[in-house]
Amino acid sequence: MERAVRVTNMFLDILGMKSGDTEGLRSLTVERLLTAQKELAAEALDPKSGLGGLPLQPVVDGKVLPQLPIDTIASGSVDNIPILVGTNLDEAKLFAAMLLGTDKLDEAGLLRRYQRLIPTVDAAGLIEAYRRARDKRGQSTTPDELLMAIQTDKAFRIPAVRLAESHSRRHQPTYAYLFTWKSPALGGILGACHALELGFLFGNLEPNFSGSGPEAEALARNIQDAWLAFARTGNPSCQSLGMWPQYGANRETMFLGAECQVVKDPLAEERRAWESIPDTVLGVL
């Protein structure tokens, strides 16, 4: 709520209005509201704001939204509804491509960023956990790569994992995936970035962004067949992709990429690094 109040006050300042002027807000044109929204988004991206972007989002206020959605799911609000949930391996790299300077980030800057964004968390410990995990797998541990990995998990993968956990613990049908296909765009720096999976899902691959060729077409067929099977039956298993087990104690996750296979508890060390961190700090870039 404290963050929401700050965002509200920033928005009113941009509009030149005072708190409580409901009628004044209602009288504004859509164009004026959208222009103010763009200004607010730009201000939120300023490191001095401490907001970290995405200023406009639902807020648990105890009334309109009584509790976090993840808590309502844990209490059974979506029982008897199959869930298919997943993320892309490098979600944050799309957003990094829109910002300048991430490739010049140093260790001190990386630490300062997370000390500011999640001040209640041991930022140094979180960064070190990612460094160890990636080093074991032979992956890059430069500050910008660590930033992308942590941001991806903070805003996308860990919330998705917790959704799968909450639903699965109630013995409800839950299926998880990790999209690993990498974009060829910009020399490959985008990796398996945000929105890359959509071309495969809807069958409109754009060669420069999605890639092309037999492997890309096969992945698109696998994803489309699985999503259609899930829509029809509540189970994404299909002839082209094979058996897709439910997410459970072994955290079975379907990898969707050049090779499609089920992996147990992927990126486990990074997941464990977030175990003591509450849901309330997740989801904000």
Write the CATH number for 200: 3.40.50.1820
Calculate the CA dihedral of residues 27, 30, 33, 38 and round it to 10 degrees.
Answer: -170
Examine the domain organization and report whether 149 and 116 are in the same domain. Answer: yes
Q: Which of 100, 134, 105, 124 is nearest to 270 (CA)?
A: 134
d(CA 256, CA 222): 8
The SS3 assignment for 269 reads helix
Number of H helices, E strands in the chain: 13, 4
Determine the average pLDDT of the residues in 65-84: 93
Determine the average pLDDT of the residues in 38-53: 82
Q: What is the domain range of residue 35?
A: 1-66
- Of 66, 94, 114, the last residue of a domain is 66
Q: In what order do the strands lie in the sheet with 174-179?
A: 83-88, 174-179, 252-256, 261-264
52: pLDDT confidence band, cut at 50, 70 and 90? low
Instruction: Specify the pLDDT at position 100.
Output: 59
Number of domains in the chain: 2
Mean pLDDT score of the chain, rounded to an integer? 93
- Of 10, 39, 66, the last residue of a domain is 66
Environment class of 9 (CB within 10 Å of its CB; exposed 0-12, middle 13-18, buried 19+): exposed
